[in-house]
């Protein structure tokens, strides 16, 4: 089991990046989160087996059809034991 923190930069908000990431993660049995960042990037925490996480990392370099990925930052971290993969939306005050 691996844990990766991934930040995807470019035209990645408003193009269904989070929904597409969740669909791919669910297909691969990856657990974690995906959320939009204030700077326009998308932040992902992904946990799964090496093959599945590598597949997700490769997919992040392209993203969904209307995305324009400029850069992907990846770092390995400690397992957080997520129970599923979910889209984190902004909290409203």
* Catalytic positions: 18, 36
Residue with tokens 């193009």: 15
Is the per-residue pLDDT at 92 higher than 70? no
Any residues with CB less than 8 A from the CB of 39 and at least 6 apart, and which?
none
CATH number of the domain at 67, please: 3.30.70.100
Has residue 53 got a pLDDT over 70? yes
Domain that holds residue 17: 2-87
**Total domain count, the chain:** 1
Tens digit of each residue's pLDDT (9 = 90 or more) over 67-88: 999 999 999 999 999 999 999 9
In a domain, 82, yes or no: yes
Give the Cα-Cα-Cα angle 57, 4, 9 (nearest 5 degrees).
Answer: 55
pLDDT at 37: 96
pTM, two decimal places: 0.94
Indicate whether 76 belongs to any domain.
yes
Residue 10 counted as domain residue: yes
Tell me, yes or no, whether 92 lies in a domain. no
What pLDDT digit, counting tens, does each position of 4-36 carry?
A: 999 999 999 999 999 999 999 999 999 999 999
């Amino acid at each position: 089991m691996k844990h990766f923190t991934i930040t995807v930069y470019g035209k990645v908000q408003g193009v269904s990046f989070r929904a597409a990431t969740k669909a791919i993660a669910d297909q691969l049995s990856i657990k974690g989160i995906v959320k939009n960042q204030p700077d326009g990037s998308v932040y992902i925490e992904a946990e799964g087996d090496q093959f599945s996480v590598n597949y997700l990392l490769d997919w992040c370099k392209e993203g969904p059809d209307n995305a324009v990925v400029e850069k992907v930052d990846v770092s390995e971290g400690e397992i957080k034991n997520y129970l599923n993969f979910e889209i984190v939306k902004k909290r409203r005050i």
